[in-house]
Amino acid sequence: VIMMGQGEHSKITTCAYCGVGCSFKAEMKGNEVVRMVPNPDGKANQGHACVKGRFAWGYATHKDRMLKPMIRSKISDPWREVSWEEAINYTASEFKRIQAKYGKDSIGGLVSSRCTNEEGYLVQKLVRAAFGNNNVDTCARVCHSPTGYGLKVTLGESAGTQTFESVMKSDVIVVIGANPVNAHPVFASQMKRRIRQGAKLIVVDPRTTEMVKSPHVQADYHLKLMPGTNVAIVNALAYVILSEKLHKPEFIAERCEADSFKEWEHFILQEENSPEAVEKISGVPAEDIRAAARMYANAKNGSIYYGLGVTEHAQGSTTVIGIANLAMATGNVGREGVGVNPLRGQNNVQGSCDMGSFPHELPGYRHVSDSTTRAEFEAAWNCVLDPEPGLRIPNMFDAAMDGTFMGLYCQGEDIVQSDPDTQHVTAALSAMECIVVQDIFLNETAKYAHVFLPGSSFLEKDGTFTNAERRISRVRKVMPPKAGKGDWEVTCMLSNALGYPMSYKHPREIMDEIASLTPTFTGVSFKRIDELGGSIQWPCNDAAPEGTPTMHIGEFVRGKGKFIDTKYFGAGEKVTRKFPLILTTGRILSQYNVGAQTRRTHNNMWHSEDRLEIHPQDALDRGIKHNDWVGIESRAGQTVLRAEITENVQPGVVYTTFHFPESGANVITTSSSDWATNCPEYKVTAVQVMPVTQP
């Protein structure tokens, strides 16, 4: 706590929006926050902040905050305010009734990647130890689950390899499927500083983003590909590197599996992966692919940054693997200035995955089928663990439609608004018998809920978030929970009511338990984080007591790096005569995800609606003028937006953001998903667009 003027004081905490994880001083008068000031000592942001973070406190005190637990036996009934005890006992009795009737696997839990590590850890423990199954998932499922898979199988760890600071040593920066200017603004500024110092920039994106062309930065190459063709482009880059012998044989021989390289080289050097063949698929000129490949491979230090434009595809995991292949082939792993760097969308995507919030992995990415791992957790938790992986989010919806999944505990996620194919989601929720929503607002998912438990905002929490560079940062409670209970306390109450005792005095004890059970966290504690200036990058253990800024130095986490073939098969969503355009999606600077928080702050001053970008030729063909209302129809549904005619998108591609519920972006996205992880193919939806009268 830093004391200031009369009645004023401040506490240092961490922004709860994006994966940059900026450190802030929350300045308060009494119990009210009056300002958020970026912390000059914050290692991820070094005194900088973006427009989202500066105004984030606004939603925490918004009049829409829900402060009382509520229940109703049918969703057509009005809500009834009840005590915490009644709400928890009702939930426990409903979950017990459902499990008695439909079996132990008929309930599950979701935890948002907005929640702290400690909260995420407790939810997966609740599901595994108290529910007795592995039906736990997190919204990382719908954003970066392909990162977890792709980096684990190639490099051995489901995480980015570098610090943000590392970009200042890059000579060539490759940005694939990401627009950090809007989605990770503070890191984008650092990247732009490096580019102004002379680093080269290659952008792979279907749209001309602010990263490609702006007053402050101009890409050297923009590979403006058709959405859904990432794998083809990554393969073509590899083709040029291998065929022109630009790869690093010494690095490969010393650091990678020889057989896997030989097999991959044979796979890549097929004619179908040549720039000329890929030009026909992707629309990117072959000479640009060649030039970009040479620039990356010839760099002293080449780094790759990627975002949801890589992962949210039917081949999301394949592209992540392809990116890791490129980095290994060119020796760009294991030192500063290089690496494979996923730009995580939410503040704690990395952390929620680290904490075992996936149905197949216990904390520390250890598979539930491994009996040694299970025995360790069973001894610590005093329970018997299920060796079978549980249901992923989309499988929960399917099981609900089959009548076998009937109860859901949902902490901090608005699945109705954020998951694809809204009609399918709402039909599944309507089929369930007890849905519990724990949130700060009565969100869209709460319309289908039987129990509402008021959540706490980031300003009311003690705990940690882990950002995109594996940095575990302290989140500090600057005001008491407005509803009287912290989210972690509510999870404990539910567990106790279900008969599995859970008792902690403070979130620091939860982190101590995490550290005792997770090899990459054994040196992590609130005390240690404070001693090291407010954050630590994992792995932090006996081998690395001060944390690990750069991973895979000298040796990959899996031992030898593994090349894996990346066969291109294209998007799940195909254009047809009925749906001839491809819709892709992204973000704007002032709003965050589905906008539940930013729409309740001053950020609405800058942006107040989602619009549909359409190329002038496609607009002309359909008689659409700038600002006209247009109907957008896909195989899943339809919605209406205002048109923005721009050459930022290419012919055949339309683009929108998804920050406002009335725009219904996810009414039109479909259930098509990544082959390995079920991450939705948000970035490719086949649509038709036509003018309509004002809705």
Q: Report the interface residues with ligand SF4, using CB under 6 A.
A: 15, 17-18, 20-22, 45, 49-50, 52-53, 184-186
Spell out the residues 6+ positions from residue 120 whose beta carbon is closer than 8 angstroms to its own: 111, 113, 138, 348, 351, 352, 355, 357
In whole angstroms, the minimum distance from the beta carbon of 148 to ligand SF4 comes to 21
Q: Which is nearer to ligand SF4, 122 or 589 (CB)?
A: 589
In whole angstroms, the minimum distance from the beta carbon of 14 to ligand SF4 comes to 8
Q: Which is nearer to ligand SF4, 182 or 229 (CB)?
A: 182
Q: Which is nearer to ligand SF4, 17 or 526 (CB)?
A: 17
In whole angstroms, the minimum distance from the beta carbon of 153 to ligand SF4 comes to 29
Q: Which is nearer to ligand SF4, 69 or 185 (CB)?
A: 185
Asked whether the beta carbons of 570 and 225 are under 8 A apart, the reply is no
SS3 of the chain: helix, strand, coil, percent, to 5: 35, 20, 45
Residue 282 one-letter amino acid? S
Q: Which is nearer to ligand SF4, 45 or 230 (CB)?
A: 45
Spell out the residues 6+ positions from residue 670 whose beta carbon is closer than 8 angstroms to its own: 420, 421, 572, 573, 634, 635, 636, 681, 685
In whole angstroms, the minimum distance from the beta carbon of 341 to ligand SF4 comes to 15
Q: Which is nearer to ligand SF4, 51 or 246 (CB)?
A: 51
Query: What is the end-to-end Cα distance of the chain in Å, rounded?
Result: 51
Q: Which is nearer to ligand SF4, 53 or 331 (CB)?
A: 53
DSSP-derived letter for residue 649 is: B
Spell out the residues 6+ positions from residue 245 whose beta carbon is closer than 8 angstroms to its own: none
In whole angstroms, the minimum distance from the beta carbon of 457 to ligand SF4 comes to 14
**3-state secondary structure (DSSP) of residue 559:** strand
The span from the CA of 384 to the CA of 382, in Å, is: 7
Q: Which is nearer to ligand SF4, 107 or 478 (CB)?
A: 478
Q: Which is nearer to ligand SF4, 18 or 191 (CB)?
A: 18
Burial 192-227 (b: 16+ CB within 10 A, else e): bebbeeebbbbbbbbbbbbbbeeeebebebbbbbbb
Q: Which is nearer to ligand SF4, 17 or 682 (CB)?
A: 17
Strand order in the sheet with 471-475: 463-466, 471-475, 535-537
Q: What is the CA radius of gyration of the chain?
A: 24
Q: Which is nearer to ligand SF4, 17 or 397 (CB)?
A: 17
Does a cis peptide bond (omega within 30 degrees of 0) precede residue 539? yes
Q: Which is nearer to ligand SF4, 186 or 415 (CB)?
A: 186
Spell out the residues 6+ positions from residue 213 whose beta carbon is closer than 8 angstroms to its own: 219, 222
Give, for 654, the enclosing helix (H) or strand (E): strand 653-657
Both tokens of 541, joined, read 């253990």
In whole angstroms, the minimum distance from the beta carbon of 532 to ligand SF4 comes to 20
Q: Which is nearer to ligand SF4, 347 or 671 (CB)?
A: 347
**3-state secondary structure (DSSP) of residue 661:** helix
In whole angstroms, the minimum distance from the beta carbon of 57 to ligand SF4 comes to 12
Whose CA is closest to 445, among 473, 393, 487, 410?
410
The span from the CA of 550 to the CA of 339, in Å, is: 9
Sign of CA dihedral 640, 643, 648, 649: positive
In whole angstroms, the minimum distance from the beta carbon of 293 to ligand SF4 comes to 31
In whole angstroms, the minimum distance from the beta carbon of 363 to ligand SF4 comes to 24
Dihedral angle computed from the Cα positions of residues 226, 231, 233 and 234, in that order, rounded to the nearest 10 degrees: 150
In whole angstroms, the minimum distance from the beta carbon of 185 to ligand SF4 comes to 5
Output the furthest CA–CA distance in the chain (Å, rounded): 73
Q: Which residue has the tokens 């500024």?
A: 189
Q: Which is nearer to ligand SF4, 346 or 422 (CB)?
A: 346
Asked whether the beta carbons of 640 and 655 are under 8 A apart, the reply is no
Q: Which residue has the tokens 């994992």?
A: 538
Q: Which is nearer to ligand SF4, 45 or 154 (CB)?
A: 45
In whole angstroms, the minimum distance from the beta carbon of 643 to ligand SF4 comes to 29
In whole angstroms, the minimum distance from the beta carbon of 55 to ligand SF4 comes to 10
Both tokens of 542, joined, read 């006996």
The span from the CA of 115 to the CA of 413, in Å, is: 9
In terms of residues, how long is the chain?
A: 695
In whole angstroms, the minimum distance from the beta carbon of 49 to ligand SF4 comes to 4
Spell out the residues 6+ positions from residue 385 whose beta carbon is closer than 8 angstroms to its own: 128, 129, 134, 362, 368, 374, 377, 378
In whole angstroms, the minimum distance from the beta carbon of 19 to ligand SF4 comes to 7
In whole angstroms, the minimum distance from the beta carbon of 183 to ligand SF4 comes to 8
The span from the CA of 657 to the CA of 647, in Å, is: 17
Q: Which is nearer to ligand SF4, 57 or 660 (CB)?
A: 57
The span from the CA of 530 to the CA of 516, in Å, is: 19
Q: Which is nearer to ligand SF4, 566 or 597 (CB)?
A: 597
The span from the CA of 9 to the CA of 420, in Å, is: 43
The span from the CA of 88 to the CA of 454, in Å, is: 12
Residue number, nearest CB to ligand SF4: 53
The span from the CA of 578 to the CA of 672, in Å, is: 18
In whole angstroms, the minimum distance from the beta carbon of 307 to ligand SF4 comes to 13
In whole angstroms, the minimum distance from the beta carbon of 533 to ligand SF4 comes to 17
